[in-house]
Amino acid sequence: MPPLALRLASVEAPATIAMSVRARALRAQGHDVISLALGEPDFDTPAHAMDAAHGAALAGQTKYPPIDGTPALKQAVRAKFARENGLDFADNEIIVGNGAKQLLFNALMATIDPGSEVVIPTPYWASYPLTVELLGGTPVFAPCLEADGFRLRPEALDAAITPRTRWVILNFPNNPTGAISTRADLESLAAVLERHPDVWILCDEIYEQLNFTAEPHASLAAVAPSLRDRILTLTGVSKTYAMTGWRIGFAGGPAALIRGMSVIQSNATSGASPITQAAAVAALNGDQTIVSVMRDTYRRRRDLVIDALRAIPSLSCAVPEGAFYVYPNVSGLIGRTSPGGRLLATDDDVAMALLEETFVATVPGSAFGLSPYLRLSVASSDEALAQACARFDTFCGGCR
Ligand code: PMP
């Protein structure tokens, strides 16, 4: 076989996807698998967004779109940033892509040189370090501890920044911990970032609408205007409108960076489908009821799962303040033997034993850079969550 690129040697597909693949295989064998592995809303896309896509296709919006987004979606995104985030952007400060994930890739590819470092707080969304490595950069980790509610402390951020730092990536509400960032937290992080003027700042706010606290979500670019010319604010329709499969993300930031991202995008995928962009316009401009319905549902399910997990003696679990994950600490299981006789040396072992023995798919904390934990998505039905927790309880009870 001809060789594959050297860069692939150190990069694998995210473990979230690996667990889902294994879960699917077990399901295909006839097992009753409950998958809490993927970060995917279990709601339907709003009907008005689907109608808009249908209408766009029938109206002939089936040709190549502009690289950086249709005028209608850019306008809707600008209105959204102004309305929800207190951020005013011009058209050349906005880019639309095939999901926030592609925009992350574009931004890093447009800026990372060999030797560039990217500061990533742990635990993290696995795509951050994987993408940095794919592009020849070096991830540098800043730990967020359970004892601090998984919030990033300014000292930990400061300690991770070096003269080679090209980016700092912030993600609130956080995947996988659900930690949020208050305005005061952002102000203290901004004070550190102000001392490092050569560093780009990526604010991944894809879960911005899933904030369960009384204080609304705050964007760093609005809290710290002095940093605005270095901040890329990244979000999309995947989580807010249950539109993961439509592949629409968008970002607002300085025109020069947006232009660089657009050059990458023009060479990789061109613009996102105009049909799905029309759906995103309808979602952003239309009735927002579904957003609060989903938020309330995830909050209720979080409570249901937290109560069930906290009743299991081997586990402890912080209460997430946003997103749709819980991140229980499984250190009480490490070193023990599963009911099926597997040694549980790591959280990978716990996740695999739980899947193979009880058919509950989760993702080990190792995939997010902080062990020993599991990530469970609460974007599943109440029945599935209750059943999964009951199986987890039986599993823990049977560990020796
Ligand atoms: N950022 C984070 C933190 C995520 O968890 C995800 C989805 N898992 C994304 C970005 C990507 O979202 P999109 O579907 O828009 O690519």
Residue 55 counted as domain residue: no
Query: For 71, which DSSP code?
Result: H
How confident is the model over 188-207, as a mean pLDDT? Answer: 98
Amino acid in the structure at residue 82: A
Same-domain status, 235 and 267: yes
Q: How far is the CA of 208 from the centre of ligand 1 (A)?
A: 12
Q: Pick the last residue of a domain from 285, 319, 352.
A: 285
Q: Minimum mean pLDDT among 1-15, 22-36, 227-241, 292-306: which range?
A: 1-15
Q: Compute the distance from residue 314 Cα to the ligand 1 centre, in Å.
A: 31
- Three-state DSSP class for 337? strand
- Contact in structure between 62 and 236 (CB atoms under 8 Å): no
CA distance 399 to 343: 10
Does 21 fall in a domain? yes
User: What's the pLDDT score for residue 227?
Assistant: 98
Mutate to test the pocket of ligand 1, among 19, 45, 105, 206 (most ligand atoms within 8 A of CB): 206
**51 is a domain residue:** no
- The answer to whether the complex's ipTM is over 0.85 is yes
Residues 6 or more apart in contact with residue 372 via CB below 8 angstroms: 329, 330, 331, 333, 334, 346, 347, 350, 364, 365
Bond prior to 154 in cis (omega within 30° of 0): no
pLDDT value of residue 14: 65
The reported pLDDT for the residue numbered 153 is 97
CA distance 128 to 323: 18
Residue 162's pLDDT band (boundaries 50, 70, 90)?
Answer: very high
- The arithmetic mean of pLDDT across residues 173-191, rounded, is 97
Q: Is the pLDDT of residue 280 over 70?
A: yes
CA distance 400 to 397: 8
- At residue 396, the pLDDT reads 97
Gap from CA of 101 to ligand 1 centroid (Å): 6
| Parallel, antiparallel or unpaired: strands 374-377 and 325-326 | antiparallel
Residues 261, 220 share a domain = yes
Of 285, 302, 320, the domain-final residue: 285
CA distance 378 to 362: 11
Is 227 in the same domain as 316? Answer: no
Q: Which domain holds residue 345?
A: 6-44+290-397
**Quick one: 190 and 106 in the same domain?**
yes
Average confidence (pLDDT) over 114-127: 96
Residue 9 pLDDT > 90, yes or no? no
Q: Is the same domain home to 261 and 204? A: yes
Q: Is the peptide bond before 197 cis (omega within 30 degrees of 0)?
A: no
- Number of structural domains the chain divides into: 2
Please answer whether residues 225 and 88 qualify as being in contact, where contact means their C-beta atoms are separated by less than 8 angstroms: no
Residue 36, in any domain of the structure: yes
The answer to whether 243 and 206 are in contact (CB under 8 A) is no
pLDDT of 13 higher than 80 = no
Cα separation, 225 vs 231, whole angstroms? 10
- Closest ligand 1 atom to the C-alpha of 39? 8
Considering the chain, what percentage of its residues have pLDDT values greater than 70?
99
